[in-house]
Structure 1
Amino acid sequence: MTKEHIIRESAGLFNTKGYIGASLSDIMDRCGIGKGGIYNHFENKDEIALAAFDYSFSQIRLLLSKELQVAADSKQKLQAICKVYVEMIESNVLEGGCPLLNTAIESDDGHPVLKERAQHAMKILFEQLTKIINEGIQNKEFRSDIDPEEVCSYIIAVIEGGIMLSKLFDDSKYIRHCSSNVMKYVDHEMMNI
């Protein structure tokens, strides 16, 4: 229980303050645990950061999974993905926004292991999105000449950009605009008419 508590609390802390900004003292204060209690479960701050990132990413996957289960077709699955990211910002489901975005930016040059973990997580999202797009092509919902990798790059870049702007300006209109533009792209560039 204590280890899980440390991971959950640290996830929000790292996602708001960043790896560099969150100190071991911050973790102890937030968790209400002394240094010995932390070191009973983790060797160092790096280990906590990796576990916290994994936890945060698992929460995104859980949110996506719930929405994707009720989507009837590929287009609805893409709408569901947009919905999850809008809710992530508007309901503050994950404290600090998208941990993938935050970790990718912060770990770019300063923390190679955390960067590798973020890359792995993004590859998982790419695979999930590619599967949805390929299903849409196979079901003749989407055009057969679209490039799934190109579409994935576009959708993820637009959504993550919307999250960044919404967090920067404390206004969810940006993620809403970007989600709307993703669905316009789906309607105008991907649908098999």
Structure 2
Amino acid sequence: MGKGQVTKEHIIRQSAGLFNTKGFTGTSLSEIIERCNVRKGGIYNHFENKDEIALAAFDYMFAQLKNLLTEAMSERSTPAEKILAICDVYIDVVEQNIWEGGCPLLNTAVENDDGHPLLKQRAQLAMLELMTGLGDILREGIKLGQFRSDIDVEAVISVVIALIEGGVMLSKLHNDNKYIRYCTNQVKVYIHSDLAI
């Protein structure tokens, strides 16, 4: 990897925490420059503007989230266990403070629902990818006879994601990890009582 690419990736990694903690509006270019320990020209050698850095930072953090989810699910064999693995990843995100600022998808979605249109679109696409993956797991569970065949897959996806992301939000808001555990426990109850055959 060339020096230029190393510098670009350094800028993305360092600015990701700033954007995830302070948001797009709250993060200044001067803070990015200071945190990355590069000159202003060094930033502009790799990025046209702050928007481009923010999009790259979001993509970087979402790729990390996907890697965590993929790794956790690869160790589980059944669809129900894979959904529980997703819950475990989010518990770790909160309790181990994996990322500065918490869940990048939640933070970007909340800040940009009426804000930055490109970041909102990026968050929508990321969420759609997660929802599609969860839908595939549920359909696999139906096919294998683990889940009821009459479940509304789209509704189940919405409930599971709302519980998990709501638990992340409440835990961050109150600085108390009990909320992510309350919410993920409800996902487990939902799987076993409402979905399972």
Identify the match of residue 23 of structure 1 among 2, 24, 28. 28
CA displacement at 1:101 relative to structure 2: 0.6
Question: RMSD over aligned Cα, in angstroms?
Answer: 0.6
TM-score norm. by structure 2 comes to 0.96
CA displacement at 1:118 relative to structure 2: 0.4
Contiguous gaps of at least 5 residues in structure 1: none
Contiguous gaps of at least 5 residues in structure 2: 1-5
Displaced runs of 4+ in structure 1, greater than 3 A?
Answer: none
Q: Equivalences for 1:1-193 in 2 at 5 Å?
A: 1-192=6-197
TM-score norm. by structure 1 comes to 0.98
Residue identity in the other structure for 2:39: G
Alpha-carbon distance between aligned partners in 2 of 1:17 and 1:97, rounded to the nearest angstrom: 11
Give the length in aligned residue pairs. 192
CA displacement at 1:76 relative to structure 2: 0.4
Residue identity in the other structure for 1:176: R
SS of residue in 1 equivalent to 2:72: helix
Residue identity in the other structure for 1:85: Y
